[in-house]
Structures are given as C-alpha cells and as structure tokens.
Amino acid sequence: MDKSQILIFSAVAAVLAIRLYQKYVKKNKNKSGTETKPSSGPTFPSSIKDEDYEPYSKK
C-alpha cells in the first residue's frame, strides 16, 4: 500500500468510528433516565410558614 492510501484508509476508519460512537451515545442517552420531567417549583419554598420557629430554643 502506498502512503497516501494508508492515510485515506485511516481517515475513513476514524470518521466511521466517530459516527458509530455518536450513534451509541445517542442510543444510550435515550435509554437512560434523561426523559424525566424537571420539577416545576423550587426545591425550597420561597415563603417560610413559621418564621418564629427556632429548632434549638427548647420551646
């Protein structure tokens, strides 16, 4: 094989490997739990119900 043929063959092999990897990642991304809906509200409520509560005050 000539040097240019080896370079072309390796370039084609690299492109095919990248494409197969992209398909593999895309397929696994759809299978995993990435389709869950994000929560619509914040994690912590914005208004505190009992502002006078002090956990260590022994009330």
**Per-residue confidence in pLDDT tens, the chain, 59 aa:** 899 999 999 999 999 999 999 999 988 887 765 555 555 655 665 565 666 777 777 75
pLDDT of residue 27: 87
pLDDT of residue 28: 87
pLDDT of residue 36: 53
Q: Distance (Å, rounded) from C-alpha 26 to C-alpha 20?
A: 10
pLDDT of residue 59: 59
pLDDT of residue 49: 60
